[in-house]
Chains A and B, each alone.
Chain A
Amino acid sequence: MTRVPMEGKVLNENDRAAAELRAEFARHGVFAVNLISSPGSGKTALLERTLESYDAGRRVAVLTGDIQTDADAARLARYGFPVRQITTAGACHLDARMIRRALDGWELAQIDLLFIENVGNLVCPTSYDLGEACKIVLLSVTEGEEKPLKYPGIFFKSELMLLTKIDLLPYVPFNIDVAEANARTIHPEIQIARLSCTTKQGLDEWLRWIDARKGGQ
C-alpha cells in the first residue's frame, strides 16, 4: 500500500470556472455580488427595492436562482433592467457553470453591477464560488438570532450581513444585538446593516454600501 499526497481543492472544477468568471468580470469592470440567505429572508424584495431606486441609465443586471419557476425573474423584470432566471431543477445552489451559461449573450461590457440571487439556502451555496467580488448574507428577524452560530460557514464567508424585515422587530422575539454579536463571534470583521424593504428604513445605507464597495472593488 502506498500513500501519495493529493493536493488541491475538492471543488476544483467549480473553482476553475469561477476563476474564469472572476477574470472576465474584472476585464469588463463588472462588480458581481452573490446574495445568499434562507428561503423567504427577502433577497428578491431587496433587489426590487434596489432596482426601483436606480435610474434607467444604471448598468445593473440580475441573475436569480431558484429550484423551480421564473416567478422571481418576472417580479424583477418590471424595473426595466436585464434579468435572467436560473432554474436549477433540484440543485440546492448555483455553481459557476450555471452562471457562465446564464450570462451567454449578455454584453458584459455593458454591465457595471451584477446581482446574483442564489437559491434560498444557508448551507449549500456557501461552498460554491461564483466568481463574485463578495458574498452578502441576509438574515431576517423572523428567523432567530442564533442562525450565525448554526450556519457558521456562510457568515464566515460573507462580507456583509443584512438584517432584514426590521419593521417586524416589535412583533417577534428577535434580539438584534445578540444576532449581531453571534455573527461577529463567527466572523469578527463582518459588516452589518439593518433594513426593512417595507418601510425602506436602512435602504439608503445599503445602496451606499454597494456603491462604496463597488468603487473600491
Chain B
Amino acid sequence: MHEVGIANGILEAVRKETEAHKPARAVKVGVRIGEMAGIDPQSLAFSFEVLVKGSDLEPLDLAIEPGVLDELEFAYLELEVP
C-alpha cells in the first residue's frame, strides 16, 4: 500500500505548483505511470480520492496515463482561473 505515500507526494507537488499560479485552483492532475513502476493505478486512484476528500484541494481529479517502463512522472496540471 505504498500508493498512499505516492498519492501524498502528488498532492504536495500540486499544492506547490498551484501556489505558483495564484489565484488559480487546481482541478485535475495528470501523471504517467509505466507498467514497471510497481504502482497499481486502481490503488493509487483510491488512495488519492481518500486523501483529497476533506482536504484544501477538494475537488481534484487524478488522470493516470500509461507511461513507458518504470516511468512515474507528472504530466500536467489543469487550473481554473477565477
Contact = CB atoms under 8 A, between A and B. Distances in A.
Nearest to B43: A123
A9 B22 CA distance: 23
Contacts of B80: 1
A125 B5 CA distance: 12
Interface residues of B, number: 33
B36 A9 contact: no
Interface stretch (A10-18, A188-196, A198-206, A207-215): A10-18
B38 A124 contact: yes
B78 A11 contact: no
Which residue of A10, A124, A126, A128 has the most chain B CB atoms within 10 A of its CB atom?
A10
B37 interface: yes
Nearest to A156: B36
A10 B33 CA distance: 10
Interface in A123-148: 123-124, 126-128
Interface string A1-44: 11111111111111000000000000000000000000000000
A6 B9 contact: no
B73 A7 contact: yes
A136 to B, nearest CB: 16
A92 B77 CA distance: 29
Given A10-B9, A123-B38, A4 B79 contact: yes
Given A13-B9, A127-B38, A127-B72, A6 B2 contact: no
Contacts of B2: 91-93, 123-124, 127-128
A12 B78 contact: no
B6 A152 contact: no
Interface string B15-47: 001000100100101110001111110000000
Interface in B46-70: 69-70
A77 to B, nearest CB: 28
A75 B73 CA distance: 39
Given A10-B13, A10-B31, A3 B76 contact: yes
A2 B69 contact: no
A9 B73 contact: yes
A153 interface: yes
B36 A153 contact: yes
Nearest to B77: A6
Contacts of B75: 5-6
- Which 5 pairs of residues, A with B, have the shortest CB-CB distance? A126-B38, A153-B38, A124-B2, A6-B74, A156-B36
Interface of A: 1-14, 91-93, 95, 123-124, 126-128, 151-154, 156-157, 186
Given A6-B74, A95-B5, A127-B39, 4 more contacts: A14-B9, A124-B38, A126-B70, A157-B70
Interface of B: 1-2, 5-6, 9-10, 12-13, 17, 21, 24, 27, 29-31, 35-40, 69-70, 72-81
